[in-house]
A = this chain, B = another copy of it.
Amino acid sequence: MNQTIETILRHRSIRKFTEQPLSEEQLSAILDSAIAASSSSFIQCVSIIRVTESDKRESLAEYAGGQPYVATAAEFLVFCADYHRHKQIHPEAKLGFTEQTLIASVDAALMAQNAMVAAESMGLGGVYIGGIRNNPAEVSELLSLPHHVFPLFGLCLGFPAQDPERKPRLPRELIVHQDEYQQDLDRNLLAEYDNQVREYYRTRTGGNKNTSWSEQITATLDKEARPFIKAFINEKGFSLK
C-alpha cells in the first residue's frame, strides 16, 4: 500500500480545527488538485466560491443548520453547479436538462474529493457541508449566485484539532455487486454492520448515542428530504426537463 491509498483509507471528517491558516502553497495545491479532475464531456460546469469574509462565514454556519466549524475552519469552499459561464459564451445554449444537473453534481464532487485528498495528504482535514442545502436561496443570495448557478455543498478545510475514529462503512459485500445487482440484502452482514455502528457511536459518545445504521437511516428516511430543493433548483434553471 502506498501513501496515497493510506491517506484515502485514513479519512475521517474533521469538525474541529486549530486557528492556523493554510499557506498559499497549500491552498494552491488544493485548488489545482480540484481543477485537475475529470470533466464530463469537457463541459466544466462547476464553480468554487472561496469564502473568506467572517460575516459571510457566520451566516453560512447558521444557514447550514448551526455548524460552527463552517465559520471557524481555515478555509470554506462552496462547490456550485454552474452553467452561467456557458450562457455568457453561448446565449442560445440549451439548458435546464436533468442530465446537466447530474453532470454538474458528479463533476463538482470529483473536484471536491481531489481537494479533500490533496488536503489530507498534507496533514490537513475537512468535512463536507451538505447542510448549505437547508437554506439554498439564502446561500445563493449571500454569494450572489446568478441564474444557472446553484450551491451543491460546502467543504471546510484546516489543521485538525481532533483525532476522531474512522466511522465504519457498509461492508464491501453490500456495496459492490458482481455482474448484476444482488437484490437480496444479506441480513446477517447487515446485522453485523449495525452492531459495529452501534459500538462506534457508544464509544464516541461515552454511551450517549446507541444507534445502528439501520435505525439511523430509518429515522432519516421517515422525514422528507429537503422537499423544497426541487422548486429551488427549477427556479435556478435546473432539472426543468
Chain B proximity of A202: nearest CB distance (Å)? 16
Residues of B within 8 A of A48 (CB): 175-177
Tell me the bound Cα distance from A109 to B95 in angstroms. Answer: 22
Residues of B within 8 A of A133 (CB): 99, 102
* Stretch touching chain B among A16-24, A66-74, A157-165, A227-235: A227-235
Tell me the bound Cα distance from A175 to B130 in angstroms. Answer: 20
Give per-residue flags for A49-92: 1 if the beta carbon is below 8 A from chain B beta carbons, else 0: 11111001000000000000000000000001000111011101
Residue A110 contacts which of B113, B166, B221 (CB distance < 8 angstroms)? B113
- Least CB separation from A171: chain B residue: B35
Residue A43 contacts which of B4, B118, B220 (CB distance < 8 angstroms)? B220
Instruction: Mark out the residues of chain A between 95 and 143 whose CB falls within 8 Å of any chain B CB in the assembled complex.
Output: 95, 97-103, 105-110, 112-114, 116-118, 121-122, 127-128, 130, 133, 143
Q: Do A49 and B99 touch across chains, with their CB atoms under 8 A apart?
A: no
User: With A42-B167, A167-B42 given, is the CB distance from A51 to B105 under 8 Å?
Assistant: no
Residues of B within 8 A of A230 (CB): 97-99, 239, 241
A interface, CB within 8 angstroms of B: 1-5, 7-9, 11, 13, 29, 31-33, 35-44, 46-53, 56, 80, 84-86, 88-90, 92-95, 97-103, 105-110, 112-114, 116-118, 121-122, 127-128, 130, 133, 143-146, 149, 152-153, 166-167, 169-170, 172, 174-181, 183, 185, 190, 213-214, 216-218, 220-227, 229-230, 233, 239, 241
Pull 9 A–B residue pairs with CB atoms less than 8 Å apart, ordered by A. A3-B3, A9-B33, A44-B217, A89-B218, A97-B229, A99-B227, A103-B225, A109-B109, A113-B113
